[in-house]
């Protein structure tokens, strides 16, 4: 039957009449309970990014449970210290991270981009009279990098992310913004290319590049590419390419 909000108390009565005409009855009291699951990851994104930070391969994810478990037939909440938390990742019990008073689960993502981690939490009271299960799915994504024009005064990006451009051959300032890497941008290896030839970036700020495109050719056409890698993890890499035409 559909239940009401948290803390709603129900009494369920059952009566059975036997073949001999004897009445047998019993009753139980129930209180609506639930648990909220939230998660965070240690991946990075620009300060203006307001959406959910997503995990990539090798990210650390922390899942936290906020239980609202009532003693049956009462308005008394059971504290986390009196509950058993059994954590499962993709149907595998994480026994060393499960137990009494363990409402948090941390794990390192080892799946490839496009895969999912299914997290299941089973909550039990210590006397096993109450049991509750909750599921969440956490996707694994690729690290991303996007190119923007850079404000020469502030070095901050302006406008939307760049794709292909029609522009005069000139000096252009670019800034690359990374999403979902597990280390800060200063700890990454940056490479800038014009027409597949490596050029220098921005020195102490390698995510910035001031590129002189005026002497490439009379018929101006150029491909600008930036590649960024985590030197400690070859799988943590991303690139962005734009084509410039006069």
Q: What is the pLDDT of residues 28-47, one digit of tens each?
A: 898 999 999 999 999 988 88
Nearest alpha-carbon partner for 241 in 186, 158, 176:
176
pLDDT at 218 exceeding the cut of 60: no
Which of the residue ranges 131-145, 168-182, 186-200 would you say has the lowest mean pLDDT?
A: 168-182
Beta strands in the chain (DSSP E): 9-17, 23-31, 34-41, 60-68, 83-89, 92-93, 99-100, 104-108, 116-125, 131-139, 144-150, 157-158, 165-166, 171-179, 189-194, 197-199, 208-212, 221-230, 233-245
Cα 196 from Cα 58, distance rounded (Å): 30
Q: What is the pLDDT of residue 17?
A: 92
Q: Please tell me which residue, 155 or 25, carries the higher pLDDT value.
A: 25
Nearest alpha-carbon partner for 168 in 101, 246, 235:
246
Question: Which positions ≥6 away from 47 have C-beta within 8 Å?
Answer: none
pLDDT at 135 exceeding the cut of 80: yes
Q: What is the pTM of this model?
A: 0.82
Computed over every residue of the chain, the mean pLDDT equals: 87
Task: Please answer whether residues 41 and 54 qualify as being in contact, where contact means their C-beta atoms are separated by less than 8 angstroms.
Answer: yes
Torsion angle of alpha carbons 44, 46, 51, 55, nearest 10°?
Answer: -20
Q: What is the pLDDT of residue 176?
A: 86
pLDDT at 164 exceeding the cut of 80: no
Q: Please tell me which residue, 101 or 177, carries the higher pLDDT value.
A: 101
Q: CA 135 from chain center: how many Å?
A: 15
pLDDT tens for 61-75 read 999 999 999 998 999
pLDDT at 212 exceeding the cut of 70: no
Tokens in use for 190? Answer: 């940056």
């Amino acid at each position: 039957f559909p239940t009401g909000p948290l803390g709603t108390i129900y009494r369920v009565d059952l009566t059975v009449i036997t073949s001999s005409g004897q009445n047998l009855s019993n009753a139980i009291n129930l209180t609506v309970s639930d648990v909220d699951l939230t998660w965070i990851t240690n991946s990075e994104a620009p300060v203006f990014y307001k959406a959910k930070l997503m995990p990539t391969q090798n990210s650390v994810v922390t899942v936290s449970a906020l239980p609202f478990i009532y003693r049956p037939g009462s308005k008394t909440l059971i504290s986390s210290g009196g509950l058993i938390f059994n954590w499962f990742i993709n149907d595998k019990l994480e026994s060393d991270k499960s137990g009494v008073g363990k409402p948090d689960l941390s794990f390192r993502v080892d799946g490839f981009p496009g895969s999912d981690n299914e997290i299941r939490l089973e909550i039990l009271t210590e006397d096993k009279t109450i049991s509750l299960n909750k599921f969440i799915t956490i996707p694994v994504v690729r690290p991303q990098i996007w190119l923007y024009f850079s404000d020469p005064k502030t070095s901050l990006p302006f406008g939307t992310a760049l794709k292909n451009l029609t522009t005069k051959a000139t000096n252009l300032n670019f800034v690359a913004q990374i999403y979902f890497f597990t280390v800060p941008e200063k700890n990454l290896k940056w490479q800038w290319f014009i027409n597949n030839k490596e050029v220098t970036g921005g020195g102490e700020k390698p995510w910035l590049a001031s590129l002189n495109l005026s002497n490439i050719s009379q018929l101006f056409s150029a491909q600008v590419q930036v590649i960024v890698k985590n030197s400690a993890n070859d799988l943590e890499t991303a690139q962005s390419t734009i084509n410039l035409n006069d």
